[in-house]
Amino acid sequence: MADDELPKPEPKEIDEKLSIQLRHLLEDATLKGKPYGEEKCDNCLYYSEVDQKISYCWHPKLRILVGAEWWCQWWEKIEE
Ligand code: SF4
């Protein structure tokens, strides 16, 4: 039955390239997977949908999906 087995999934070249690009992006932003005190993505100006656990960050240097509890150096207060 070995002939019927599907090949084991493996990352492709594009995945390695994207992984490196995204890693550099994270380092530039000092993006962390946890809040910085009271500051976190879901109370940041750039977080698109505050009621979602994952949402689009529209900061011009990021433009990626981020988690509600993440944080980066470009955090900005939402003005009332
Ligand atoms: S700018 Fe930074 S803190 Fe604000 S939503 Fe984007 S990643 Fe999160």
pLDDT tens per residue across span 62-71: 999 999 999 9
- Which of 27, 32, 48, 57 to probe ligand 1 with, by most ligand atoms within 8 A of CB? 57
Residue 5 in any domain: the answer is: no
Query: Which whole number is the average pLDDT over 4-23?
Result: 94
Domains held by the chain: number: 1
**What is the domain range of residue 60?**
32-74
In a domain, 2, yes or no: no
Q: Over 90: is that where the pLDDT of 2 sits?
A: no
pLDDT for residue 3: 61
Query: Span 68-77, mean pLDDT?
Result: 98
DSSP class of residue 54 equals E
| Residue-level pLDDT at 4 | 75
The reply to whether 20 falls in a domain is no
* 47 lies in some domain: yes
Torsion over CA: 50, 52, 58, 59 (sign): positive
Q: Does residue 19 sit within a domain?
A: no
Taking the C-alpha atoms of residue 26 and residue 73, their distance in angstroms, rounded to an integer, is 10
Q: Tell whether 23 is covered by a domain.
A: no
CA 80–ligand 1 middle distance (angstroms): 18
